[in-house]
Amino acid sequence: MSVIIIGAGLGGLSLAQGLRRAGIPCQVYERDPSPEARLQGYRLHIGGVGDSALREVLTPELHELFRATAGRALPHTNVYDDQLRLVTRLEDEGVHLNVNRFTLRQILLHGQEVRYGKRFTHYETGDDGVTAHFADGTAARGSLLVGADGVNSPVRRQRLPHARVVDAGLVHLYGRIPLTPDTRRLLAPEMFAVFNMMLGPDRTMAGFAPVDYPEPVARACARLMPDLRLRDNEPYLTCSVGARWEVVGHSEAELAAMTPGELQKVALGLLAGWHPLATALVGHWDVPVTFPQPIRTSVPIGPWEPSRVTLAGDAIHAMSPAGGAGANTALRDGAVLASALAGAPPLEAVAAYESAMADYGFAAVRESAGNGRRFLGQNPLTAEV
């Protein structure tokens, strides 16, 4: 058996690591020219689901390195109004790790062979396998194809054309703040938590959370994986400003055409009259790495017949960030599918995986949509197919 994986995001790489541990050959194809080609976000919250998946797919040394580079967050989310008055505190005593997305991705890339610059166009299936075709005219053949190619997945469009991804009505402007002695002093001790939200009366949000390494990254690598050098090693705050499109007052195309400095000005305009902390945080953004991100969500669908083509991560259950579950669910997909393939023939394994994944994946979509509606004014989730 051999597996073709389209997409080198968290779900695809989780699967690749799990298959590698199981001794199942796989090849990862990624459309981007390199791992650093796109800004995809900064801090990720990894909870018990994600940590368990990583423990399952990674070698013990790699998992220990993940834990050594994951910040321990206070087990709560603070919700404030726009004048920094505490509205509620959402407590959860489970596992709470605030991690750098690119640090985690580098760990998942370790030991993997990824072919970059390979834009998938379509696949063809037969009785004994599946062939993936790429825009450069090349093709790859395997026993199974997994589309882990994100919210705009071309694999999903061919495999499940009725599966919809819709606009959530929101856009976030993402910024990053170096965590220096000066910026640390901006935050009260209780803000070194899973996440902090300041909410305005029109559901505009300023959200922030620290990524604070428990030990120097270079020291952790030298101690646990001397052959691995992790590129990003400075602590920071992730800070985003989000609102409904009509509040932002700019279209997706207009935001995409703006410079990072212009995006910062839009964010500051949305926070006019707020508590000084909000504008101070945005004022400390590392401006050149600011970017806009429209928020989209999948619409859950009913069961489908398994085949030699399946999906993982945002390709099948994209969700708003309001549940903090997207990365954890993608990592879980990789672990569940790798385990299924290690114990059964491909079609039986895919059937078992898709049955489980549709249950927990679409449950996370619904929960994230509910949280997004409650706190951010997200559009109601449209009718399921």
Query: What are the pLDDT digits (tens) for 232-275?
Result: 778 999 999 999 999 999 999 999 999 999 999 999 999 999 99
Which percentage of the chain shows pLDDT scores above 90? 88
What is the rounded average pLDDT of the residues 20-42? Answer: 87
Domain assignment present for residue 384? The answer is no
Half-sphere exposure in the Cβ direction for 71 (13 Å, CA):
27
Domain assignment present for residue 26? The answer is yes
Q: Are 324 and 45 in contact, with CB atoms under 8 Å apart?
A: yes
Does residue 384 carry a pLDDT above 70?
no
Please give the helix or strand (H or E) that residue 45 lies within, else none. strand 43-46
What is the rounded average pLDDT of the residues 175-180? Answer: 94
Residue 233 CA to residue 217 CA, distance in Å, equals: 6
pLDDT at 368: 95
Does residue 385 carry a pLDDT above 70?
no
pLDDT at 20: 96
* Mean pLDDT for all residues in the chain: 94
Work out how many domains the chain is built from and give that number: 1
382 falls in which pLDDT band (50, 70, 90)?
A: confident
What is the rounded average pLDDT of the residues 279-293? Answer: 96
Q: Are 20 and 111 in contact, with CB atoms under 8 Å apart?
A: yes
Q: Give the tens place of pLDDT for each residue, 3-17.
A: 999 999 999 999 999
Q: What is the CATH number of the domain that holds 67?
A: 3.50.50.60
pLDDT at 233: 73
Statement: the pTM of the whole predicted model exceeds 0.85: yes
Domain assignment present for residue 385? The answer is no
Domain assignment present for residue 381? The answer is no
Q: Give the tens place of pLDDT for each residue, 325-354.
A: 999 999 999 999 999 999 999 999 999 999
Q: What angle do CA 152, 318, 355 make, to 5 degrees?
A: 110
Q: Give the tens place of pLDDT for each residue, 50-75.
A: 999 999 999 999 999 999 999 999 99
What is the rounded average pLDDT of the residues 214-219? Answer: 90
What is the rounded average pLDDT of the residues 77-91? Answer: 96
**Domain boundaries, position 162:** 3-376
Six-digit token pair at 1? 């058996």
Domain assignment present for residue 251? The answer is yes
Q: Give the tens place of pLDDT for each residue, 99-140.
A: 999 899 999 999 999 999 999 999 999 888 999 999 999 999
Domain assignment present for residue 241? The answer is yes
- 222 three-state secondary structure: helix
* Helix 48-57 vs helix 326-343: crossing angle, to nearest 10: 40
Domain assignment present for residue 347? The answer is yes
Residue type, 294: P
Pick the closest to residue 22 from 344, 354, 358, 357 (CA basis). 344
Domain assignment present for residue 382? The answer is no
